[in-house]
Amino acid sequence: MGSQPHLLISQFVRDQLSLRGARINEKRTQPEGEYVLYWMQSTHRFEENWALRFAILEADRLNKPLVIHQGLDPTYEHANDRIHSFILHNARELARRAEAMGLFYQFVLRRRRDDDRRVVDRLAARAALVVTDLYPTCGIAQRTQRLGERVNCRVVAIESHGVVPSGAFEKEEYAARTIRPKLHKLLSLALEPVAMQGPRRTVSPTLAASLRDTLAVDTLDLTRIDIASEIARCEIDHAVAPVALASGLPAARARLAVFCEGALADYTRRRSDPNDDEGTSRLSPYLHFGQISPAEVARAALASPHAAEAQKFIDELVTWRELSLNFCLRNPNFGTLAALPDWVHKAMASHADDAREATYTLEEFERADTHDELWNAAQRELLLTGVMHNVVRMLWGKTLILWSAHYADALAWLVHLNNKYGLDGRDPSSYGGIQWCFGKFDRPFYNRPVMGVIRPMSIKRARDKWDAEQYIERWVRSTERRQPDLPFPA
């Protein structure tokens, strides 16, 4: 960093924040406010959290304490035991780290859909400033905008999802080839680590007690509760069960270390084998919930002895992930057919009436009840584990298009299945990946039935590339033998 690290880091932080931030309303900071409020929505970590960093800087500037608030309620899309469990176990870890780091962190769990929803409004009414996460999916942007309209203080949103600040790209990028060189120019600086510094003023016991009164609901004592029992009391979908994936930053870092010491050495080959559990990073759930910083992941890969192989991994972690973020931030039609290029619409129009090999309903897809065992295995991996190997996910998506009577249904159903069951669902990368199956970010190929000139993927060819029988045995046949009454959707 040179001979003046503090000066350079300060300028770096300012530059990053200017490119990551957005003012949600035009209201002023309230000097009479008692604290700065950080409303944690999508970035569920303290480390390398740019929204938290901005909130701390503003709290120090205003000479106010900082209050970190996180909540969970039953009204989000596909609210279920799987997602609740992953969030709550991480929140327990956050509570432990907050105490050790001298941060004031509180968590509120709304159990019923008709419970009081204005907790954040009451907190904001006493705040000098509200800072939250800038995030285009999961309904977060809409909730943030509504809060900005209701409260009397300034609301600012800061993006922490990408390595390179999303504000560096003011327009929609249309392909990896257009964003990749721009990201490459900014990546080295964006990867500079910045030490975590807590706020100068702490929340006093008196303020903490009055906050509990202001909430008018109980904060969750995360150190004492039985998480499974609490989830059982919530009005959510209990049919989508938790999975055996450990949640939280320590678990993410442990997985990252295993990956960098092992599969990264041969990543280009191993990433293409869905039967190799250790062949990919498997960090997507942690990255989606913001439990680990993508910059930390990238630095770990580049610092490993396998830096040459790391470049392919970095391209996926940064280029494709941030292309999807840019898409969801800059294209208001993401998640719909309207977001697809003109050439895709022409292809779909000319092939809308093509005969399909088979057609299924959403319920049949959801149950993994098609004529093809390989597709069923992919869906069952998602149902049982909350994740799906990326090589299989592309095939899963392309094939569902072929077996749907209408393109709009296929897109809506892929989004539904991925968001409901995937721990990395509802993510910009989810929307980017699903819409890539329809030709987004891609180019025309040769003309074929149903898909037209959209890039094809064949289940038959997949069987020639990797051991499909082993994959089917694992996710269909062996699970049926061991657990014939698996709770798949009725």
Instruction: For 228-269, write each residue's pLDDT tens digit.
Output: 999 999 999 999 999 999 999 999 999 999 999 999 999 989
Model pTM score: 0.95
Q: What is the dihedral of CA 306, 312, 318, 322, to 10 degrees?
A: -170
Give CA–CA dist 107/71, Å, rounded.
Answer: 5
Q: Is the pLDDT of residue 17 over 50?
A: yes
Q: Is the pLDDT of residue 25 over 50?
A: yes
Q: Is residue 198 predicted with pLDDT exceeding 60?
A: yes
pLDDT of residue 4: 36
CA angle 75, 47, 284 (to 5 degrees): 55
Residue 5's pLDDT is 34
Confidence of residue 8 (pLDDT cuts 50, 70, 90): very low
Mean pLDDT across 407-420: 98
Cα 9 from Cα 47, distance rounded (Å) = 16
HSE of 80, CA atoms in CB hemisphere, 13 A: 19
Mean per-residue pLDDT for 55-60? 96
Q: Which fold has domain 1-330?
A: 1.25.40
Query: Pairing mode, if any, of strands 66-72 and 21-23?
Result: unpaired
Asked if 266 contacts 309 with a C-beta cutoff of 8 angstroms, the reply is yes
Write down the pLDDT at residue 117: 78
Sheet holding 127-133, edge to edge: 21-23, 154-158, 127-133, 35-40, 66-72, 105-109
CATH number of 337-482: 1.10.579.10
Question: What H or E segment, with its residue span, contains residue 82?
Answer: helix 81-101
**310-330 mean pLDDT:** 96
Residue 217, C-beta contacts closer than 8 angstroms, at least 6 positions apart:
108, 110, 115, 116, 119
Q: Give domain limits for the chain.
A: 1-330, 337-482
Q: Do domains 1-330 and 337-482 have the same CATH topology?
A: no
281, 255 contact by CB (below 8 A) = yes
In this model, does residue 131 exceed pLDDT 70? yes
- The confidence score (pLDDT) of residue 289 equals 98
Residues 445-460, mean pLDDT to the nearest whole number = 96
Query: What pLDDT does residue 337 have?
Result: 98
Q: Rounded CA gap, 482 and 486, in Å?
A: 9
Pick the range with the lowest mean pLDDT from 352-366, 399-413, 459-473. Answer: 459-473
**Given the DSSP bridges, would you call strands 21-23 and 154-158 parallel, antiparallel or unpaired?**
antiparallel
Model pLDDT, residue 138: 97
For residue 148, the SS3 value is helix
Average pLDDT score over the chain: 93
